[in-house]
Amino acid sequence: MKFSYNWLKELVPFKESPKQLAEFLTMRAFEIESMEKRRGDVALDIKLPSNRVADASGHLGMAREIAALKGIRITKRVSRIKENKKQKVSEFLKVKIENSDDCLRYTARIMTDITVRQSPKWLRERLDICGLQSINNIVDATNYVMLELGQPLHAFDLEKLNRKPEKIKTITVRRPRKGEQIETLDKKIYELSPDVSLITDGDTPLAIAGIKGGQASGITEHTHTIILESANFDPMRVRAASQLLRLKTDASYRFEHGLDPNETVAAVDRLATLIQKLSEGKIVSGIIDVYPKKVFAQKIIFSVSDANRLLGIELDPAFYQKALTRTGCTVVQHRVSNKDRLVVVPPTIRRDLAIPEDLIEEAGRILGYEQISPQLPEFATVPAPRNDKRYWEDRVRDCAIGSGFTESMLYAFTSERELAQFFIDPATAPELANPLSPETKYLVPRMLIKYVSSTVENLRNFSVVKIFGTGKNFTALSKSLDEHNALVLAYGSRDIAGKREFYELKGVLAGMFEQLGIDDYGYGDVLTTEEHHHAAKLFHPYRVAHINIGNERIGMIGEIHPAILDEMKSRGRVVAAEINFDLLWKHAQDEVEFRPISKYPAVIRDIAVVVPENTKTEVIQDIIERTAGELLIDADLFDYFQDEEMRRGDIKNLAFHLTFQSPDRTLTDTEIEKLIGKIIAALEMQGWEVRK
């Protein structure tokens, strides 16, 4: 909010240059966002916190703040209102408030014989430096007094009010009727809803209460008699109306922060006096003031020792007493005998001062926080408990990075187009009410797609892309939302076959499971009949598997469907794993138990088997393990082979290392040969050819 340096200086006698003043205010009160020199004055753009709009949005309030912080007094101003005793305000106007909650106070004065003309130069310059446009002397005066006192004001042309059905013209503050409209001063038409409050003449809307005046009752060069409005409206209603109508004004900004209703009379008097000076008008004697529920100052019991404890410094009661008095509070000792307790009554304009902590802040600012020396708290020396989820996340991260994958963080948003591209039903994605763009229309239900898109993007610059990350999967539920942590690994390569990538990624997962102490993991087919089938749609139909731990499905691994990648114009294939991290880490365990190393040598034999193309390695392994029994400690696939001829015959050659070992004796050749013979027989039973 813009303040004039010269104006402030008129109101309070400080010595600081604009730059010094800006620094002083920044350290003690408000941040100064910018300074701009203009025609012998400086505009200070002061960032007003929302709890200080009530008292400091006007120059006088800002001057009071400076005076309090510096311990000086504001300049006294004497002004007496000169009323025209021949006319009484009650002969001109009545005010009715239909809902006393909507309008907390309505104060008005009437002026006659005014002349509408251009404002004098000094006034135009003041408005200009504060960023307001000059209209005419009457409107400018309302704005000037608002800038001075922080109270929004409005002037209506009394002649334009309809008299009927009352004898005396009446201003009625009421809610809109169905279908009611108003044309504002800037000639825009607004449809009104019940959230808005209106100033009306009983019938026609004259203004949107607390926001903007209407065209119909506006001041023109022919205006002779005016109503000066100084009111106080319900902040919540003004805020709601302003948001609804998308109409923010200097008045609505102030009202929505809540103003002190006790300020309206002083403001309207100040305004009338100023207009009298600017346009030779006459002020009708008397004031209309509807103020159903008066706001009184509240006292706060303040403990000096509590304040000292909160600030962490020893200050005596006299300091607090003096500091709080400077902020405009009345301060008395609670009881003569008790120096620790003060009774503090802040002025009603300081709506931000409601509890002792508010007063402690005032004292702290007057003291200056730099006066408080750092002092380490006395903490118990207990180590922080471990966050298990984060601990396992770190382990997974180390493992992925060690396997050549780079950590990436991606946007949690997605578009309709991206979802469609990956065959994801938009109904499963939580939809935003206020997206910034089509790209932020939804939250992403599967982080996987962001990593796939990013992999495709990166394949334009790299021939191999390995990325991973943990992100959130957001799923729309009928009335709520599910949010869980997803771990995604994506491996893109310009390599044509894409086979190696799939198995490498499986290998990375194997290493990761080992790191997490998980050994009962496995992979399963995605069946077209099951409910998970649609989740697998974005994968290659013959290169996809469930990842299971025990009986629990924790994710999927697969190659992204080539059709999707084609549409994305990907330069290579992408294989990805998508794991529910919340399920994964619950299976993780740190404990490792030592197994005695066998004293007896292990014997390794190789065996190769030729099987039909669609035979699963797992099945072969299973047969070998079941047939061999306990002495076989490992059956490890070490070679996969398929030549042109085998390809045509739809067969493949798989070779295994078989490791035999006994914990209590050295195995003999005959023993091994017997076992191998049994294994071969079992494999041949399946109709497979075994090569030794």
Does the protein bind other proteins through residue 481 (CB under 8 A)? yes
Residue 358 backbone phi and psi in degrees, to 5 = -60, -40
Under the criterion CB under 8 A, does residue 309 sit at the interface with other proteins? Answer: yes
390-396 CB contacts, 8 Å cutoff, 24+ apart: 392/516, 392/584, 392/585, 392/588, 393/470, 393/581, 393/585, 395/515, 395/516, 395/588, 396/470, 396/487, 396/512, 396/515, 396/516, 396/581, 396/584, 396/585
Identity of the residue, 480 or 614, whose beta carbon is nearer to other proteins in the bound complex: 480
Contact flag: residue 400 with other proteins (CB under 8 A): yes
Q: To the nearest whole angstrom, how small is the minimum distance from the Cβ of residue 510 to other proteins? A: 17
Of the candidates 35, 74, 135, 310, which one interacts with other proteins according to CB under 8 A? 310
Fill in the per-residue mask, 459 to 478: x = in contact with other proteins (CB under 8 A), - = not in contact.
--xx--xxxxx--x-x-x--
Q: Which span (113-121, 207-215, 449-457, 566-574) binds other proteins, by CB under 8 A?
A: 449-457
Q: Taking a C-beta distance cutoff of 8 angstroms, is the pair 288, 94 a contact?
A: yes
- The residue (of 128 and 361) whose beta carbon lies closer to other proteins is 361
**Of positions 168, 420, 432, 685, contacts other proteins by CB under 8 A:** 432
Query: Nearest distance from residue 54's CB to other proteins, in Å?
Result: 10
The whole-angstrom separation of Cα 173 and Cα 98 is 6
Ranges within 104-143 binding other proteins (CB under 8 A): none
24 makes contact with other proteins (CB under 8 A): no
- Please say which residue, 367 or 667, places its beta carbon nearer to other proteins: 367
Q: Work out the number of other CB atoms within 10 angstroms of the CB of residue 120.
A: 12
- Label residue 516 left, alpha or beta by phi (over 0 means left) and psi (-120 to 50 means alpha): alpha
C-beta closer to other proteins: residue 144 or 468: 468
- Among positions 74, 244, 295, 311, the unique one binding other proteins when judged by CB under 8 A: 311
Give the Cα separation of 206 and 214 in Å (integer).
Answer: 5
Pick from 155, 187, 191, 160: nearest CA to 176: 191
Q: Give, for 407, the enclosing helix (H) or strand (E).
A: strand 406-407
Q: Does 51 bind other proteins (CB under 8 A)?
A: yes
* Footprint on residues 257-296 left by other proteins (CB under 8 A): 257-258
Q: Compose the 234-253 pattern: x for residues touching other proteins by CB under 8 A, - for all others.
A: -xx--xx-------------
Report in angstroms how near the CB of residue 324 gets to other proteins at its nearest: 14
Q: Using the rule CB under 8 A, which residue among 316, 457, 530, 684 binds other proteins?
A: 457
Stretch that binds other proteins, among 44-52, 79-87, 123-131, 181-189 (CB under 8 A): 44-52
Region binding other proteins by CB under 8 A among candidate stretches 78-86, 456-464, 632-640, 661-669: 456-464
- What the block records as the tokens of 395 is 């382990």
Contact 173, 94 (CB under 8 A): no
Listed ranges 275-283, 286-294, 338-346, 370-378: which one lies at the site for other proteins (CB under 8 A): 370-378
**From 78, 189, 336, 380, residue interacting with other proteins (rule: CB under 8 A):** 380
Q: How far is the CB of 348 from other proteins (least distance, A)?
A: 18
> In this complex, which beta carbon is closest to other proteins, that of residue 317 or of residue 471?
471
Residue of the chain from 91, 203, 407, 520 that contacts other proteins (CB under 8 A): 407
Region 486-525 residues binding other proteins, contact defined as CB under 8 A:
none
- Report in angstroms the alpha-carbon separations of 285 from 110, 263, 607: 8, 20, 114
Quote the CA–CA distance of 45 and 38 in Å, as a whole number.
13
The nearest distance, CB 313 to other proteins, in angstroms, is 6
Cβ closer to other proteins: 206 or 489? 489
Quick one: which segment of 46-54, 129-137, 529-537, 682-690 binds other proteins (CB under 8 A)? 46-54
Q: Rounded to whole angstroms, what are the CA distances from 624 to 403, 507, 615, 687, 688?
A: 31, 22, 14, 14, 13
Residue 427 as a binder of other proteins (CB under 8 A): the answer is: no
Q: How far apart are CA 140 and CA 278, in angstroms?
A: 10
Q: Determine the size of the site formed for other proteins (CB under 8 A).
A: 92
The runs of H, that is alpha helices, within 150-300 are: 235-245, 250-256, 264-279
- Our CB check for other proteins shows the closer of 376 and 592 to be 376
Alpha-carbon Rg for the chain, nearest whole angstrom, is: 40
Contact 375, 308 (CB under 8 A): no
31 scored as a contact of other proteins (CB under 8 A):
yes
Q: Which stretch binds other proteins (CB under 8 A): 126-134, 432-440, 631-639, 667-675?
A: 432-440
The secondary structure of 580-626 as a DSSP string is: EHHHHHHH--------PPPSSPPEEEEEEEEEETT--HHHHHHHHHH
CB of 180 closer than 8 Å to CB of 188: no
**Using CB under 8 A, which of the segments 106-114, 371-379, 554-562, 629-637 binds other proteins?**
371-379
User: Rounded to the nearest whole angstrom, what is the least distance from the CB of residue 216 to other proteins in the complex?
Assistant: 30
Query: Does 428 contact other proteins by CB under 8 A?
Result: no
- Which of positions 522-581 make contact with other proteins (CB under 8 A)? none
Check binding of 304 to other proteins (CB under 8 A).
no
* DSSP states along 317-377: HHHHHHHHHHTT-EEEEEETTEEEEEEEE--TT-TT--SHHHHHHHHHHHH-GGGSPP---
Q: Which of 53, 138, 324, 488 binds other proteins (CB under 8 A)?
A: 53
Q: For residues 448 and 451, give the distance between their C-alpha atoms in angstroms, rounded to a whole number.
A: 5
